[in-house]
Chains A and B, each alone.
Chain A
Amino acid sequence: MAEAAVQQSTTDARLASLTLPTGGWSEVARKQAEARLRKMGLPERRDEYWRYTRPETLTQAIAVPAALFNNDETPIFGEIDRLSIVFVDGVFDAEASDDLSLEGVSIERLANATSDLHWARDLYGTLEEKGQTPVPRPLAALNTAYATDGILIHVTGKISKPISLQYFHQSETSDAILHHVIRVDAGAEVTLLENGPAAARFNKVMEVDIADTGVFHHVRAQGRDHERRAATHIFARLGAESTFKSFTLTANGVMTRNECVIELTGDDAIAHVAGACVGDGDFHHDDTVFVTHDAVNCESRQVFKKVLRNGATGVFQGKILVQPGAQKTDGYQISQSLLLDDDSQFLAKPELEIYADDVACSHGSTSGAIDEGALFYLRSRGIPEGPATDLLTLAFLAEAVEEIENEDLREEITGRLAAWLERHRS
C-alpha cells in the first residue's frame, strides 16, 4: 500500500503542476485521458516496463533544468527541400515556420484548432488509448490530456517535399508537451522529419493513422543537448497494403525513452521501426517497442543499434505480438549494442508472443566489443586506430541506418554519426 500511496502522490504532484486545457473538440478526449492517467498512475520503478529506466525525472512535478548546448554543427536536414514547422521550447513559432499550405496536405496547429476538425477529433487520443493495452503507457495519457500544442497533419495526396518539425531548446527550465496527429489517406504519401531537442524536458506523442495503401516515412534526430530529457511515443495504426517506416538517431541525452506502438490491422502492410543511438558517459537511452500483427501477410522489422561508452546505458524492450489468425506474418527483431569499454551496459528484453501457426518470426540481441581482428586488419593497411574504429562502428550501425529509404536522408544521418564518432574517440 505504501508504494501505491507514493505513486498516487507522484501523480497528484505532477498533475497539480499542469492545467487541463478546456474547450474545443479535444476537450472530451483530454478529460478521458486524464481519467485514464489517474487510474493507472504515473510510472514507478516497480512497473514491469520501467525496471531498466528510472522514471522519476520524467514524472516529477518540475523538470530538472537542462543547460543549453552550443551546437556548432550545421543544422541537420538543412539542405533538404522541406516545409518547416518550428517549435521553441514547445511553443509554435509562426515567424520561423514556413507557410503551412501545401498541395496534398492540410496542416493545422493543435492550439489553434478550435473549429470542428472531424478527422482529428476522431483520432486524437484514440490510438494512444488503444496502445494502453496490454502495457500501460501513463506518460502518453498525460500527454493526450495536457498537451499544450502540436500539429495536425491530414495527408490527402503524394506530397512534393517532407514536412519538417524543428524543435529548439532555448530555456534551461522548459517543460514541453506536444501532441501530433497524422492521418494518411488511402494512396497518400508523406515524409515527416523531426529534429532538435525540444526542451529541458519533452513529452511528445505522435498518433499516426495510415489508411489502406498509404505511406508514411519518418526520420528523426533527437538533438545533441547532453542534459535534456525526453519521453516520446509513436502510436501507429496501419491499414491494408500500407507502409510505415520510422528511424530515430539519438546522439547524447541524459534520458531518452522512445516508445513505439504499432498495430498492423490490414493485410499486406509493412512496418519498420529502427534506431541508432550513440552515447558517451551520462547517457541513458531506452527503446520500448510493441508491434501487434492483427492481419494476414504483414511484415514488421525492429532494428536497433546502440554504441555506448564511458558508462552509458542502453535499453531495449521489444515485443512482437501475433494475434490469432494473423497468418503469414513475417516478424523480425534485432537489438545490438557495441560496448566501447567495460563501463557501459546494455539491457535487452526481447519478447515474442504468437497465437498463429503459420508465421516466421525471428529475434536476436547481442552485446559486443570492436572486433580486434578486423581492427588490426584495417590498421595494417594504414588506417589509424581512431578512423579504423569509426569505420567498424559505422558498419555496426549500418543495418539500422539502411532502414531509411531516402538516400539523401540516409547520407545525412550517416554523416552525423561519423562526426559524432570522430568527436568521441578515446
Chain B
Amino acid sequence: MLSIKNLHVKLEEEDKEILKGVDLEIEAGKVHAIMGPNGSGKSTLSYVLSGKDGYEVTEGTATLEGEDVLEMEPEERAAAGLFLAFQYPVEIPGVGNMTFLRTAVNAQRKARGEEEMSAADFLKLIRARAKDLKIDADMLKRPVNVGFSGGEKKRNEIMQMAMLEPKMCILDETDSGLDVDAMKLVAEGVNALRNAGRGFLVITHYQRLLDHIKPDYVHIMADGKIVKTGGPELALEVENNGYGDILAEVA
C-alpha cells in the first residue's frame, strides 16, 4: 500500500536534516504504529507524506500503490487515497463544517472521474457518521473546528476520515489532548474503518492509544530513522521502560 524507501528530508529554510533514511512498508489491512521520543521526526514524516510546504526531500521515495506521492500536490495525494488526521486540526472561521466536507468529498470524486454525491446522499451519510462519533448537528453546521474542544476536533478528524474513505490513513498523535472516554470514541471510529483494503499508520507517544487500536507492527523512531520494529509487545516495553533501553540497545 504505502512504501517508503530511504527517505531523507530536510527543512527548506535551514540546513537541518530531520529524516535520515526512513524505510517503511505498510500493507493493506495492517495497522502500523510509530512511537518515538520528541523530535525524532514522527510528525515530519506525516507532513512530508501529506505534502505540507517547508520540507525538502533530498533522497529516497514514497509510493502509494506504486504511485510516487512526493510528486503530487496535497489534493492529488488525498484523491489518491491518502489521509492525514492532524495533530492540531486547523480552525477555519467562515467555512461551515458541512460545506467543507461536501466540497472535499466531491472534489475527490471529481479528481477520480466519479460522479458527485447528491446533497441527499451526502446528508444521509454524514448524519450516520456523525452519530457514530457523537458529533451533534450543531457541530456539523459550525465553522470548521472553530470553538471545538480538543476532543471534538479529533472526533471531527475521524469523521472526515470516515466520510472520505481513504486507502491509507495516517493518524498523527490523535490521542494527544484526549481524555479516556474521548480516546475510546476515537479508537472505535478508527476500528470501524479497519478492513482488508485499508492501511493505517498511527503515530503516538503513548502506548495507551494502542490498547484501543491494536497494531500489527510497532516501530520505534529515533533521530530520523526507524531503529527497531516489533509486534505490540514493543509498545508495552516502551510503556514500562521508556525509550532509554531500546535506544541504548540499538546504539
Residues of chain A at the chain B interface (Cβ within 8 Å): 371-374, 376-385, 387-388, 391-392, 394-396, 398-399
Contacts and interface: CB of A to CB of B under 8 A. Distances in A.
Contact of A387 (B78, B103, B160): B103
Interface string B130-157: 0000000000000110000000000000
A383 B103 contact: yes
Contacts of A371: 92
Nearest to B104: A381
Contact of B100 (A381, A385, A396): A381
Contacts of A387: 103, 107
Contacts of B108: 381-382
A381 B51 CA distance: 11
A392 B53 contact: no
A378 B92 contact: yes
A379 B53 contact: no
Given A376-B74, A391-B95, A381 B90 contact: no
A392 B51 CA distance: 19
B100 A382 contact: no
A377 B144 CA distance: 10
A387 B107 CA distance: 9
Contacts of B91: 374
Chain B CB within 10 A, most for which of A380, A381, A387, A396: A381
A73 B26 CA distance: 50
B8 to A, nearest CB: 22
Contact of A382 (B90, B94, B107, B144): B107
Interface string B72-85: 01110111000110
Contacts of A379: 51, 73-75, 78
Given A377-B89, A384-B111, A385-B75, 6 more contacts: A377-B86, A379-B73, A380-B75, A380-B83, A381-B164, A391-B100
A77 B99 CA distance: 24
A374 to B, nearest CB: 5
Contacts of B127: none
Contacts of A384: 73, 75, 107, 111
A395 B92 contact: yes
A374 B75 CA distance: 13
B93 A382 contact: no
A346 B205 CA distance: 46
B140 to A, nearest CB: 15
Nearest to A383: B107
Contact of B92 (A372, A374, A380): A374
Contacts of B86: 377, 380
B52 A381 contact: no
Nearest to B103: A383
B50 interface: yes
B90 A373 contact: yes
Interface residues of B, number: 33
A382 B92 contact: no
A200 to B, nearest CB: 36
B91 to A, nearest CB: 8
A385 B160 CA distance: 19
Interface in B25-81: 50-53, 73-75, 77-79
Nearest to B95: A395
Contacts of A376: 51-53, 74, 90
Contact of B160 (A372, A381, A388, A391): A381
B94 A398 contact: yes
Given A374-B92, A385-B73, A380 B103 contact: no
A15 B33 CA distance: 80
Nearest to A381: B104
Contacts of B75: 379-380, 382-385, 388
Contacts of A378: 92, 100, 104
A396 B92 CA distance: 10
23 contacts: A376-B74, A378-B104, A379-B51, A379-B73, A379-B75, A380-B51, A380-B52, A380-B75, A381-B78, A381-B104, A382-B78, A382-B111, A383-B104, A383-B107, A384-B73, A388-B75, A391-B100, A392-B92, A395-B92, A395-B95, A395-B143, A396-B94, A398-B94
A374 B143 CA distance: 12
Nearest to A398: B94
B69 to A, nearest CB: 12
A392 B99 CA distance: 12
Contacts of A374: 90-92
Chain A CB within 10 A, most for which of B94, B103, B108: B94
A380 B50 contact: yes
A392 B94 CA distance: 8
A365 B52 CA distance: 30
B16 to A, nearest CB: 20
A388 B94 CA distance: 13
Nearest to B160: A381
Contacts of B53: 372, 376
B50 to A, nearest CB: 5
Nearest to A395: B94
B55 to A, nearest CB: 12
Chain B CB within 10 A, most for which of A371, A380, A391: A380
Interface in B153-197: 160, 164
A127 B227 CA distance: 79
B62 to A, nearest CB: 15
A113 B199 CA distance: 78
A380 B84 CA distance: 7
A122 B90 CA distance: 57
Sorted nearest first, the 10 A-B pairs with minimum C-beta distance are: A395-B94, A382-B78, A382-B108, A379-B74, A381-B104, A377-B90, A398-B94, A384-B75, A379-B75, A395-B95
Contacts of B103: 383, 387, 391
